Amino acid sequence: MEVRDYIASGRACLGIELGSTRIKAVLIGENHEPVASGDFGWENRLEDGVWTYHMEEVWAGLRSAYAALKAEVESKYGVRLTRLAAMGFSAMMHGYIALDKSGELLAPFRTWRNTITGEASEELTERFGFNIPQRWSIAHLYQAILNGEAHVAGIDYLTTLAGYVHFKLTGRRVLGVGEASGMFPIDSGTCDYDQGMVESFDALVSGRGFPWKLRDILPAVLSAGEDAGCLTADGAALLDPTGELEAGIPLAPPEGDAGTGMAATNAVAERTGNVSAGTSVFAMIVLEKPLSRVYPEIDMVTTPTGRPVAMVHCNNCTNEINAWAEVFRGFLTALGQKPDMNEVFTAMFSTALSGEADAGGLMLFNYLSGEPITGLDEGRPLLVRSPEAKLNFANFMRAQLYSALATLKIGLDILAGEHVAVDRLLGHGGFFKTPGAGQRILAAAANSPVSVMTTAGEGGPWGMALLAAYRAYRAEGQTLEDYLENKVFAGQDVTTLEPVQADVDGFNAFLAAYRGALAVEREAVNSVK
């Protein structure tokens, strides 16, 4: 009854995140806990050498996820969802969406997964003295300029997927600062694009005759809680074609999945960190002080309030585990069984813990796509073993879990060498759904205690709903850090695992062999087409 009345009175908040394999909507109630959800499965496409999603899939997926949530609200609580206190949209960070003056795409959406901007990335990193990863929007823009792509002159607005959805629903050309930090470097002192680097870029392309300067086409930058506009009547119809969703709902600044991950794990204060592990994997550590130098393996981004964050981002994580889960499902089906996929994943993850500490000498690369940290523009999933290696299910799954975090560990080891202090490291995402399994492997990789909350599986859409609630309900002058600590996470159940030394040693042995076998992966990329 209480939840029904809360929803009916328009006090609930909604977060929707467009992830790599799923668009998910989460509605939260008075205690910030999820009360309803809906989702839609989708997959990226490799077309003409570019990883992309079609925009009609974006809108079909958003409508489907929202409709499923709306149906669950009516089924569980007997009320139609028409009003909200606030809502917000997040998505895969980075990438490239270039729009003309009519708001239409000038080129196919280029996602974070692409590794086609190496020349631009290297040149801008050297020019700025700041690491510009290949997946950042500015790298895509400059690579398009270097390629002589005709559409660049017609750009009226350059944004990300979250910014695109927000623009279509509100008419506002804005981004949350955390998401904006995946487009162009941010000055944490001003919570805006670094002006010196903006001017440097404009000077770099000044002789090419473009009718715009960089700030003309980039979104305005907002911090968490700021006014990012309201849902228009046209926007409401885009999301809910039934016409029942009312216009005028306030929206939070659109964020990336990194920012929502930080919110979902209460990791927005200094010396806190989180690891988001799903299709991709990334670690976010909120810094006390700058790193001593630029590292190509470490991205500098921000929290949703603009604090500097060291980010280790890897393109590949659970995709190979998911593929093998389908193989096992097919095997069980062939035996006449009707497998429950949750049980399949639980068996896979749990059994990994009984494997040998070094995975029995098995070597596995989960590279479905390229991995810049290890210098690969393309990937080929690959299992390699010597005749002496011990191939069994437990060792195979141990190698799978190690492989999912191996590239991340390379970056974490750099931060450890920089003596980056972390008081609290939390894991979230599908990798941590099986109790104790992914958490224990991450503890071995980081050689640090790892905590997981009961909400670990909720991830980004719940984090976006929390940012929407902060937009609607924060007290005057209340910081996001204080709101999350005292309003959301006070009393939250947390499970913490210390690293097991045998696991740490085993992971280190696996990683040493992994580094040595990268030549095999490179040859696979060259030879397997």
Phi/psi at 24 (nearest 5 deg)? -130, 135
Q: Which residue has the higher pLDDT, 114 or 330?
A: 330
Q: What is the pLDDT of residues 413-458, one digit of tens each?
A: 999 999 998 888 999 888 998 989 999 999 999 999 999 987 655 6
pLDDT in the model for residue 458: 61
**For residues 257 and 264, what is the distance between their CA atoms, to the nearest angstrom?**
10
Strands 450-453 and 494-497: antiparallel
Q: Within 10 Å of residue 492's Cβ, how many Cβ atoms?
A: 11
**Which residues 6+ apart lie within 8 Å of 216 measured at CB?**
none
**For residues 492 and 316, what is the distance between their CA atoms, to the nearest angstrom?**
30
Residue-averaged pLDDT of the chain: 95
CA 54 to chain centre: 19
**For residues 150 and 529, what is the distance between their CA atoms, to the nearest angstrom?**
30
Is pLDDT of 324 > 70?
Answer: yes
b/e sequence 210-220, b meaning 16+ C-beta within 10 Å? bebebeebbbe
Contact in structure between 348 and 397 (CB atoms under 8 Å)? yes
Residue among 205, 525, 273 nearest 374 (CA): 525
**For residues 81 and 8, what is the distance between their CA atoms, to the nearest angstrom?**
7
Q: What is the pLDDT of residues 506-518, one digit of tens each?
A: 999 999 999 999 9
pLDDT in the model for residue 340: 96
**For residues 385 and 403, what is the distance between their CA atoms, to the nearest angstrom?**
14
Distance in angstroms between the alpha carbons of the first and the last residue of the chain: 58
- Min mean pLDDT across 36-50, 197-211, 416-430 is at 416-430
Token pair, residue 410, equals: 């390379």
In Å, what is the CA distance from 501 to each residue of 151, 264, 352, 446?
55, 29, 16, 12
In the chain, what percentage of residues exceed pLDDT 70? 99
Is pLDDT of 136 > 60?
Answer: yes
**For residues 23 and 12, what is the distance between their CA atoms, to the nearest angstrom?**
20
DSSP state, 429? Answer: S
Q: Within 10 Å of residue 104's Cβ, how many Cβ atoms?
A: 10
Which CATH architecture does the domain made up of 1-84 adopt?
2-Layer Sandwich (3.30)
Is pLDDT of 482 > 90?
Answer: yes
For the chain, the domains span: 1-84
Average pLDDT rounded to a whole number, residues 7-16? 97
In Å, what is the CA distance from 254 to each residue of 4, 100, 427, 468?
27, 21, 23, 10
Contact in structure between 421 and 446 (CB atoms under 8 Å)? no
pLDDT in the model for residue 258: 87
pLDDT in the model for residue 261: 87
Three-state SS at 67: helix
Encoded amino acid at 79, one letter: V
Is pLDDT of 122 > 70?
Answer: yes
Three-state SS at 185: coil
**Which residues 6+ apart lie within 8 Å of 121 measured at CB?**
132, 133, 134, 136, 139, 143
Phi/psi at 36 (nearest 5 deg)? -165, 155
In Å, what is the CA distance from 165 to each residue of 100, 160, 217?
15, 9, 16
Average pLDDT rounded to a whole number, residues 15-21? 93
DSSP state, 349? Answer: H
**For residues 77 and 90, what is the distance between their CA atoms, to the nearest angstrom?**
26
Three-state SS at 309: strand
Average pLDDT rounded to a whole number, residues 2-7? 95
